[in-house]
Chain A
Amino acid sequence: MDPDLALLLNGIVSGLLLGGLYAAAAAGLSVSFGMLDVVNIAHPAFMVLASLLVALLWAATGLDPLLLSLLLTPAFWALGAAIYVVYHHFFERRGDEAIQGLAFFFGIMFIIEVALVMTVGPDQHFADASYANITWRLGEIDLPLRMLVPAALAFAAIGALALFLRRTFTGRAIAAVAQDRDALRLLAIDPVRIKRLAFGISIAMAALAGGALVVVQPVDAWSGHIFIGRVFAVVIMGGLSSLGGCVLAALAFGVVENVTASFYGPSWSPAVAFGCLLLVLAFRPQGLFGRAA
């Protein structure tokens, strides 16, 4: 095969796998930002927090990192619910979400990062899964399990989340709270309770994404920064509250970034990706897969 074509194909395939990771990171945000209208800038910081916890636990116990991240989800759910209670008490109730709420999450992000630097140090941490060095080959195309397994977990989690939102009563209530919270009150459902539950779910998704992240690449306390733009880009391009759109956008984003990295060098990939977001914001703010408002 032509080496350029092989490079392109490999770039696309590993971009799709990378897109799985981005989808996991963005799915949580799609719930909080897209459905609940809570602009959680700190989402990637929670992800990095989970990554570093997984790395520490992995070093201590030697269990599989993805399993560890799954075990962390209840704790992160509780953390998310607690943060929503604070957010609701101080901002949403007063109608101050816009500026103060943004600054609140910005401050939370900063506190998480600095606390991580102070406790685990500024250096990179990693967790090696038992399959980390295995690569499947399909002809000229490499399928490293280090990327494939986290992507599979991500898609399984997103699938479960989508089923939950579509099939269960509570899940439908979450989708409803995005549309009309007063109508929810008429059905005797407490919108605050539903939003608390949903925000907890979004942070629990961040924990899973963090586990996937630390399997894919080494993580340091500041790794979240580059993800802020990525996850918001994916969620906005995906049309805010649609999980399907979010997955498609994440895959597209992963491919664009990875192909750029393989042809022009990795230091250029963020600029291309964020350039895409700026263009989307300027010309199609309802997202590539969203309907016009």
Chain B
Amino acid sequence: MSDTALPALPSPAPRRMGHGSFWIVTIIIGLLVALALRGLGSEYGYFAATFVLQYIVLATAWNILGGYAGYVNFGAAAFFAAGAYTTVAMGKALGLSLLPCIALAALVGGALGFGTGILTLRLRGAYFAIATLCLSVVLQTLVVNWDYVGGSRGAYVLRPREVPWPFDGYSGLLCTVMVAMAAASVAISRTIQKSRLGLGLTALRDDEAAAEAAGVPTLKLKLIATSISGAMMAAAGAPLPYLGSYVEPNTAFGMAYAVNAIAMPLIGGMGTWSGPLIGAVLLASLQQAATVTISSAANLMIVGVVLVGFVCLAPHGIVGLFRGRR
């Protein structure tokens, strides 16, 4: 267990970027990305970018629990779909637009994460993994049987016609929102990694009993991590209904989200804020390219093979390869 993920390097103080400056740099990079996409202005460009960006949020969120604390969540799709269906239900019931829906989705996801954590986090890691898998099935059953959000037939969500000034279309708006969420999630992830919370999570990942004995409030930290991670995953899913104008349970709860959420941090390097970012950009772009050029079944195959290959041969991911060489 000791070397399952990279230790958070206590880098020398002068070289370390403070939280404030990291947030500012992230905001600037986010703005640049948004402007570049606006300059490109193509509908497919927006779609592909939104696809990659939503995976950055999902992978980063998974990493907060899976990478820092070492608890594997197989139910990423459940949280993601919870976010998507919050948008559907709230949009239908209260007529809310996207941004309040994202906030509500984050609340729902956080509560869901907290609940799952309460039920299972006292147990060994494998039980938590299995419980999250079950959560996925239970939620899917509930949604399939819930006629208000379309049941198994799925639900249509109409994009608003009017788009505020700086955007050239609703896809552009969605994409910009996603850029903001991706930037925020990376910054949150780094802030957590470098804070006391991150240190505590790393300690309990390496040896839970020792951490507890040393005075780390393990259960509390794990619950905080599960809630934050769940909230971010649900927020990532909230724009999904607008992206395709249609959601149905089988795609929203699709295995692709769960497997990608695990594969991306593993490939990039777990336990660091940069790992999921690298993994998500690489793997999601690869999948977009494969979907366009080969077929959508092939792109899932690529994810599976890359995941197993990396887990076997480079267990610390791409970040680990570079650190090992130094």
**What 0/1 readout, one digit per residue, does chain B (236-280) give for beta carbons within 8 Å of chain A?**
000000000000000000010001001100100010000000000
B292 within 8 A of A: no
Whole-angstrom CA separation of A236 from B240 in the bound complex: 35
Q: Can you name 16 A-B pairs with beta carbons within 8 Å? A: A95-B1, A96-B3, A96-B315, A98-B4, A98-B126, A99-B66, A100-B4, A100-B311, A102-B126, A103-B263, A106-B74, A107-B304, A110-B255, A225-B255, A274-B138, A278-B131
Contacting pair B4 A99 (CB below 8 A):
yes
Whole-angstrom CA separation of A249 from B223 in the bound complex: 30
Among B79-87, B141-149, B158-166, B191-199, the one that faces the other chain is B141-149
Residues of A within 8 A of B3 (CB): 94, 96
Query: Within the complex, what minimum Cβ distance (angstroms) separates A89 from chain B?
Result: 8
Known A102-B126, A282-B119; judge A275-B138 contact (CB<8 A). yes
Contacting pair B1 A114 (CB below 8 A):
no
Contacting pair A277 B4 (CB below 8 A):
no
Smallest CB gap from A265: residue in B: B145
Query: Within the complex, what minimum Cβ distance (angstroms) separates B306 from chain A?
Result: 9
Contacting pair A117 B311 (CB below 8 A):
no
Known A98-B1, A100-B315, A275-B138; judge A107-B263 contact (CB<8 A). yes
Considering the complex of A and B, which 6 residue pairs feature the smallest CB-CB distances, nearest first?
A107-B308, A271-B141, A110-B304, A107-B307, A111-B304, A274-B134
Chain B interface category by residue count: 35 or more
Query: Within the complex, what minimum Cβ distance (angstroms) separates A47 from chain B?
Result: 16
Whole-angstrom CA separation of A104 from B308 in the bound complex: 5
Whole-angstrom CA separation of A41 from B3 in the bound complex: 22
Residues of B within 8 A of A75 (CB): none
Contacting pair B5 A99 (CB below 8 A):
yes
Contacting pair A111 B305 (CB below 8 A):
yes
Whole-angstrom CA separation of A96 from B125 in the bound complex: 13
Residues of B within 8 A of A268 (CB): 141, 145
Among A56-64, A130-138, A209-217, A226-234, the one that faces the other chain is A226-234
Q: Which residues of B contact A (CB under 8 A)?
A: 1-5, 66, 70, 72, 74, 118-120, 122-123, 125-127, 129-131, 133-135, 137-138, 141-142, 144-145, 152, 255, 259, 262-263, 266, 270, 297-298, 300-301, 303-305, 307-308, 311-312, 315
Known A100-B311, A274-B138; judge A285-B127 contact (CB<8 A). yes
Interchain Cβ contacts within 8 Å, total number: 134
Known: A102-B129, A107-B311, A111-B308. 15 other contacts (CB 8 A): A39-B126, A86-B312, A98-B72, A99-B72, A100-B4, A111-B304, A225-B255, A226-B137, A229-B130, A233-B134, A267-B145, A271-B138, A271-B141, A281-B123, A282-B119
Residues of B within 8 A of A225 (CB): 137, 255
Q: Which residues of A contact B (CB under 8 A)?
A: 39, 41, 86, 90, 94-96, 98-100, 102-104, 106-108, 110-111, 113-115, 117-118, 222, 225-226, 228-229, 232-233, 236, 267-268, 270-271, 274-275, 277-278, 281-282, 285
